[in-house]
Structure 1
């Protein structure tokens, strides 16, 4: 274990500190395609019984009408969060007829990307902007890539924890500035070590051939079954170059070394003209094609495996909220949908993430140079496509290092943190979880990606057939299980409230859409230290 982690854990090992550590809050955003009983994409619109996708706090859509997103509120109890997510799945499963939730990150069979319906959010300016942003994504990258699903994990420490931690580190400055700096330090370490999480939790080593139909790829895919492709040692095709990538973004080099650098980097990208996207134009035949012709339309277009976040006011830009009020929480974005859970994520993953995030905070986190940032990206790409390959080497600073040896050290550093969290929460879950995932380090077949290929390869089962079988099983499970936290009436009320709220927003509109866009982009975040 590193000396620094040992020192900090020792200092944290008081009753006062432990009381604040158990204030960790987590929230889940789970994306899932709606599919028909035959496994093809459901092309029906967002059901009215689910409420307004614009204003419902728990149920919305992502890129497409067919791509649902379920959101749990920030909560300090893992079991409660999972129960809330399960209740959302239960309610929605009863409202969508014979349609099912696709239990994987890589999409089901899709005949043509042009059939994927863009998400609709009504006639208000904010609703129109959300749909136009998605139209821009379609025109820039194609819709097939946007049909990929993931799970986002929102994580934050309590204010009381930060107050104590600031005293521990001897920092006498502004508390929110300290919090922002510490979250960014956590993010830099996360980016250094995220390959370990993708090795363990990557769950998309195979996909339907329709995903790359008529497209060239640099990967040497192997055929599987009648209509699937796979890479023998892949962990997460979702996180590969097949996923949400952009050559225009590759040169951005957004810095996580300070909040002003991060905010100004994103702002520059939103303001920087793109020769490639200028060819699309903002309008064609007087119809909007995208929000603008810059490298990024808005902040959300920038893909990262983790984001610093601050809850924004309605119509407020994310960078403006960060610049005004600092970092509130972090959003982990490198999680594949877990096909072995009927809600896409399980308790063991969440406990591991607690350990991993606390490790990233306590470990020394020097600034990330452009060179090191490129190394972290290269390491991640290797694990994404070859993570289960024997004797895979990564780059640790200036030297190559066996992934297995490096991961062994990380597990050794995390074990005292697991024991510390068990002591704080008065249970043995964290130590058990870390020990179990360590077995997957010793045996790659025990990773999620390894388990999937073990189901598919022996009898050449199509990836789509396996996922459809799971989708059918999960549909029955979810419909039959009882509510644990919420109730059916609560969901009915939330749906009605959200529809009414959307209607109010639309009725209160008093400026044109072009004026709305002009005002939105006129708001410039203050990027000063």
Structure 2
């Protein structure tokens, strides 16, 4: 792969196109639970001051009414994306009263599934559709899994890059086909080497004992209310977190857009016996949207997705088929509780240079044997990624975590040098250097740092995260600019008006609306 990447970088430099790689487009989606002052999950409705979770551009909810989700617009630099994310935090804290925003991926102490309120989006058909979908998640996978939070990092390259890169590659496909194929090349290489991101940035080696109540597990006890694995990096991304057995049998193919769309649509249109047993509408109440393996595309839990902004009423997979891939959504990023925003600028820069390296790397498809190898490496790293002597799989046999990691970082460093030279900076070289240090000493990884800080605090998991959350609030809440605050107040008011208009407008019965949606 290194030879392929070096050749691609050389072509870009020779044609004077390296500067286009520095003009990345990025947006950040970050989830976080609202919790009470005692650290329990909040039971209150979505705060009025935050506007409508259905129609607000930047602040919504995910599965639970208590699970906030911040969505930045697309930004032309990671600095501005993180600055906007900081403003969303500060503004939201000012609307939360004595509630707190949980600063970790694994949830607070939760008394049981009955304590987890499902998100409510009002009485419009669109709002009811979102609520019923979440009811389906409850019946299919249970509520507890849906309280996990993470960061989704959306990435793309500017439109100006694609025709020039296509010309350099002497590719004769349509520009849309070329761009989609290039993004799927990125996805294939991300899946090959994404284990490294879990090692470098995984920050959930521990969790509240309440998360596993009533379930068998092999976690160890850190203290009375805290479970952990001593060498884990990201329990969020393990079988304890976002996974389910029904989807384990899905053969979603990430090699090309057509195979991806076909396999995803098959899952969306194939009924599953266990979900047939649940029923769709029982005693006048909807339990799920349908009985298929996936109710909708978003139900598929993947660490990376090809995406395109949808038009009104359009399904995501149809948008991809019609207009191609627009950007990539990276979904394997934990919230680092030690960082005020859950991630920082060095991490964002490294993600950019890593993703560009994946885009320009080897073009080979993933066969079944390599997919199994990818899955095994993922499992080893999330559960025991810092274990001394850990070995990972390659087509040539097992190699040490460090050796394989250095091979990947060598590739990424070549890209970082090109970007820095084009900009006259050392930002990207620095981001790679910081990650190399973590390979040299696992004590520097976020997962190790979290365990160290938790142990030194003498607290249980929930007590410690609540204390750290309060520190972040105290440091960031006063920093919002008055003009930015006013714009977010205006957006909150606008969103409430829009939801009211949706609910007052004439609409068909929900049964008909849902049938039309499923058929479409």
TM-score by length of 1: 0.96
Deviates most, 487-496 or 503-512: 503-512
Matches for 1:151-166 after TM superposition, within 5 Å: 151-166=151-166
1:191-246 deviations in whole A, cap 9, x for unaligned?
Answer: 011100000100000000000001112x2x22112200110000000001011211
8 Å contact kept, 2:226–2:461: yes
C-alpha distance in structure 1 between counterparts of 2:22 and 2:166, whole Å? 17
- Residue 371 of structure 1: how far off its partner (Å): 2.4
**1:499 corresponds to 2:499:** no
Give the match for residue 360 of structure 1. Answer: 358
1:139-169 deviations in whole A, cap 9, x for unaligned?
Answer: 1111110000000000001111111111111
Matches for 1:82-481 after TM superposition, within 5 Å: 82-217=82-217, 219=218, 221-397=219-395, 399-458=397-456, 460-481=458-479
- Residue 19 of structure 1: how far off its partner (Å): 3.3
C-alpha distance in structure 2 between counterparts of 1:369 and 1:507, whole Å? 52
8 Å contact kept, 2:72–2:81: yes
Indicate the SS of the match to 1:129. Answer: helix
C-alpha distance in structure 1 between counterparts of 2:296 and 2:475, whole Å? 39
- Residue 498 of structure 1: how far off its partner (Å): 0.8
1:359-408 deviations in whole A, cap 9, x for unaligned?
Answer: 10111131112222122111101100010001111111252222211001
8 Å contact kept, 2:150–2:331: yes
Indicate the SS of the match to 2:194. Answer: helix
C-alpha distance in structure 2 between counterparts of 1:474 and 1:460, whole Å? 20
- Residue 281 of structure 1: how far off its partner (Å): 0.6
1:232-271 deviations in whole A, cap 9, x for unaligned?
Answer: 0000000010112111111111011211111111111011
C-alpha distance in structure 1 between counterparts of 2:438 and 2:417, whole Å? 20
Indicate the SS of the match to 1:207. Answer: strand
- Residue 30 of structure 1: how far off its partner (Å): 0.4
8 Å contact kept, 2:457–2:464: no
- Residue 501 of structure 1: how far off its partner (Å): 1.3
- Residue 14 of structure 1: how far off its partner (Å): 5.0
C-alpha distance in structure 2 between counterparts of 1:520 and 1:23, whole Å? 38
C-alpha distance in structure 1 between counterparts of 2:54 and 2:371, whole Å? 36
- Residue 16 of structure 1: how far off its partner (Å): 3.9
Give the match for residue 79 of structure 1. Answer: 79
C-alpha distance in structure 2 between counterparts of 1:506 and 1:16, whole Å? 53
Matches for 1:506-517 after TM superposition, within 5 Å: 506-517=503-514
- Residue 521 of structure 1: how far off its partner (Å): 2.0
C-alpha distance in structure 1 between counterparts of 2:16 and 2:268, whole Å? 44
C-alpha distance in structure 2 between counterparts of 1:262 and 1:515, whole Å? 30
- Residue 314 of structure 1: how far off its partner (Å): 2.3
- Residue 468 of structure 1: how far off its partner (Å): 1.1
C-alpha distance in structure 2 between counterparts of 1:286 and 1:153, whole Å? 39
Indicate the SS of the match to 1:279. Answer: helix
TM-score by length of 2: 0.98
Structure 2: gaps spanning 5 or more residues: none
Indicate the SS of the match to 2:152. Answer: strand
C-alpha distance in structure 1 between counterparts of 2:370 and 2:506, whole Å? 47
Indicate the SS of the match to 1:159. Answer: coil
1:37-94 deviations in whole A, cap 9, x for unaligned?
Answer: 2211111110111111111111000001100000101111111111111011111100
1:264-322 deviations in whole A, cap 9, x for unaligned?
Answer: 11111011111111111112212110111111111000000000000001221111111
C-alpha distance in structure 2 between counterparts of 1:189 and 1:325, whole Å? 23
1:97-124 deviations in whole A, cap 9, x for unaligned?
Answer: 0111111000000001111111111111
Indicate the SS of the match to 1:117. Answer: coil
C-alpha distance in structure 2 between counterparts of 1:457 and 1:224, whole Å? 8
Give the match for residue 527 of structure 1. Answer: none
Deviates most, 272-281 or 230-239: 272-281
8 Å contact kept, 2:338–2:450: no
8 Å contact kept, 2:125–2:507: no
8 Å contact kept, 1:90–1:483: no
- Residue 460 of structure 1: how far off its partner (Å): 4.7
8 Å contact kept, 2:19–2:419: no
- Residue 462 of structure 1: how far off its partner (Å): 1.6
Deviates most, 60-69 or 422-431: 422-431
8 Å contact kept, 1:124–1:509: no
Indicate the SS of the match to 1:404. Answer: helix
C-alpha distance in structure 1 between counterparts of 2:412 and 2:506, whole Å? 52
